[in-house]
Amino acid sequence: MTSLSGLIYANLTLLTPHTLAALKRVLGKALGKTPRDSDIRAVYLALIKSGTLKSNPDLLRLLTTREVRTLSGVTPFAVMMKAYTCPGLCTFCPLELGMPKSYLSDEPAAARAKMMNFDPKKQIESRLTQLEETGHVTDKIELIVIGGTFGSYPESYKRSFFKDMIDTINGVVSDTLEAAQVYNETAKRRIVAMSVETRPDWIDAKEVKLFRELGVTKVQVGVQAFNEEILKRVKRGHSLDAVGEATRLLKDAGIKVCYHYMPNLPGSSPEKDVEMARLMYEDPRFMPDFLKVYPSQVIPKTELYEEWKRGEYQPYSDDLLKDVLKNICKITPPYVRIDRLVRDISRKWVAAGTHTTNMRQYVEAELIKEGTPCQCIRCREVRAGEYDVVPELIKRELNTYGGSEHLLTYEKDQKLYSLLRLRLPEVSSPLFPELSDCAIIREIHTYGKTLSHKDKVTQKTQHQGLGKRLMQEAENIAQVAGYKKIAVISSIGTREYYRALGYARVGSYMVKNLDRVG
């Protein structure tokens, strides 16, 4: 036995949820430093495997580092592409030598990527090891590809980057990208979602087709402001019409849309920030599925920094910014998930603007205290709760540019258990013949603690059949609306699930004839 193993074995009576803190004190005194939870967890699992101990779920949960990482039903992590020329001239955007534009080398994912020379294989191997050692299930992976404007990278590099990522998750090197995707359909670790980030003016028919060939299911779109004058002031380089058209193209292809929005830009005000958020949520051209709110911060060596030094720009105080964010949260509709609220930039880079990277914590706490909790998807997810109630089916219909959307959810007592987004397009997407006469399911997601594919007997939310019931409801809605077929923008690792429901792969989608619905 190693020294740590021997000490834990000698103090087995302290290896319980109630005495774990005492065990750490004993181990720390004997070893000269307190061991990591992941190290104790590894020994604990070895003792279970040997038959010395029986598994205790409460103790395992205590030894899981940052359990929140996998409480949305998937295991997400970011993989960064190498630095490459960005077409943007934005006044607020930082540029650090050797980093993709807008990223700084001490942001968590960026630091890891730079240390590994932006090699996708090394980034993924490192992340998988870290997650598994700290107690997280890695069967259902969401890949978040970051690094500047995706469309500006050479296509050969993008295809190679994606193949390397999928091969690494598979643990097998395939001959082609397509072969790697097919292998992942039945692999131990499956990719259940994949996103990239880009500018709206770089989203066209060719790019959307490439997204689907790569397996992309979600696109993060840098919009930043919903006001033409502010966009011009910060030299954003695109119009709101470009945002609307990009959004329609993505939604018609079934792709989920995440906007990046920046309050506190030059030319804005607290009132304008909230007005722009309301326009984003209510104008049929926009209406994103996800949102990242990144309040403007002044970073040295940017045009905005020079404006600030000349006194031409002054960012909000933290108290004022918090009020703005609270007001944005108050009007956020239940069809949107706010993924982020304030960017995680190190204090050393910020010359002016907020340094409070955990401001969301204060915003949400104050909203709850005031009796107006945020109604976004993230704030209502069931997370680690037990499946001990019968949730109710809620139907919401949205009028969007290019078609109507149906949001189907299972909810109970302000908790969200499962969600489906169905699009009924006005015109079939000419980019994808397989979508002719098709309604399209753009998202289906059951929340709660991530479970293994093999774990079918559970009191948790996943694997209770909620997704199947939502699929049946979506098929019924599409059939009544006159559609002959229904398609799902399945990620490569979810195709087997849809095959079991009568869907067959056609191109990059899973499709079912609605005359088979009964």
- Predicted TM-score (pTM) of this structure: 0.86
Per-residue pLDDT tens digits for 354-406: 999 999 999 999 999 999 999 999 999 998 656 678 899 999 999 999 999 99
Distance between the two ends of the chain, CA-based, in angstroms?
Answer: 60
How far apart are the C-alpha atoms of 515 and 202, rounded to whole Å?
A: 38
What value does the CA radius of gyration of the chain take, rounded to a whole number of Å? 24
Report which secondary-structure segment, H or E, holds 504: strand 504-506
Q: Which residue has the tokens 């915003």?
A: 363
> Considering the chain, what is the average pLDDT of its residues?
90
Q: How confident is the model at residue 70 (pLDDT cuts 50, 70, 90)?
A: very low
Banded model confidence at residue 63, pLDDT cuts 50, 70, 90: low
Q: How confident is the model at residue 1 (pLDDT cuts 50, 70, 90)?
A: very low
Helices and strands, counts by H and E, the chain? 18, 14
List Cβ<8 Å contacts ≥24 apart for 117-123: 118/80, 118/81, 118/82, 118/83, 118/147, 119/164, 120/79, 120/161, 120/164, 120/165, 120/168, 121/164, 121/165, 121/167, 121/168, 123/79, 123/80
Name the token pair of 105: 């080398």
Give pairs for 66-70: CB < 8 Å, separation 24+.
Answer: 66/134, 67/135, 67/384, 68/383, 69/131, 69/136, 70/136, 70/137, 70/449, 70/450
Q: What is the tens place of the pLDDT at every residue in 227-279?
A: 999 999 999 999 999 999 999 999 999 999 999 999 999 999 999 999 999 99
Six-digit token pair at 95? 């540029």
Q: What pLDDT is stored for residue 462 in this prediction?
A: 46
Q: In the numeric block, which tokens belong to residue 150?
A: 């995706």
pLDDT at 19 over 90: no
Inter-residue contact 183 to 197 (CB < 8 Å):
no
User: Are 380 and 395 spatial neighbours (Cβ–Cβ below 8 Å)?
Assistant: no
Q: Write the single-letter amino acid at 279.
A: L
For the cut 50, the answer to whether the pLDDT of residue 129 exceeds it is yes
Reference 315, options 355, 364, 264; nearest CA is 264
Domains and CATH numbers, the chain: 3-62 (no CATH), 67-198 (no CATH), 202-379 (3.20.20.70), 392-516 (3.40.630.30)
pLDDT for the residue numbered 18: 72
Q: Is 156 helix (H, G, I), strand (E, B) or coil?
A: helix
Rounded to an integer, the average pLDDT of 47-52 is 77
pLDDT at 75 over 80: yes
Per-residue CA distances from 501 to 468, 475, 496, 511 (Å): 8, 11, 9, 10
If 0-12 CB within 10 Å is exposed, 13-18 middle and 19+ buried, where does residue 30 land?
Answer: middle
Q: Picking from 70-84, 401-415, 437-451, which range would have the lowest pLDDT averaged per residue?
A: 70-84
Lowest mean pLDDT: which of 47-51, 162-166, 204-208, 226-230? 47-51
Question: What 8-state DSSP symbol labels residue 342?
Answer: S
Average pLDDT value for residue range 18-45: 75
Residues 428, 407: Cα–Cα separation, whole Å: 20
Query: Which of 76-85, 90-99, 107-116, 264-273 comes out lowest in average pLDDT?
Result: 107-116
Residue 66's pLDDT band (boundaries 50, 70, 90)? low
Closest-CA residue to 120 (of 99, 146, 142, 85): 146
Contact present, 201 and 237 (Cβ < 8 Å):
yes
> For residue 325, which of 348, 292, 350, 298 has the smallest C-alpha distance?
292
Mean local confidence (pLDDT), 495-507: 96
pLDDT tens digits, one per residue of 437-496: 999 999 999 988 644 545 554 544 444 789 999 999 999 999 999 999 999 999 999 999
Tell me the pLDDT tens digit for each residue of 277-330.
999 999 999 999 999 999 999 999 999 999 999 999 999 999 999 999 999 999
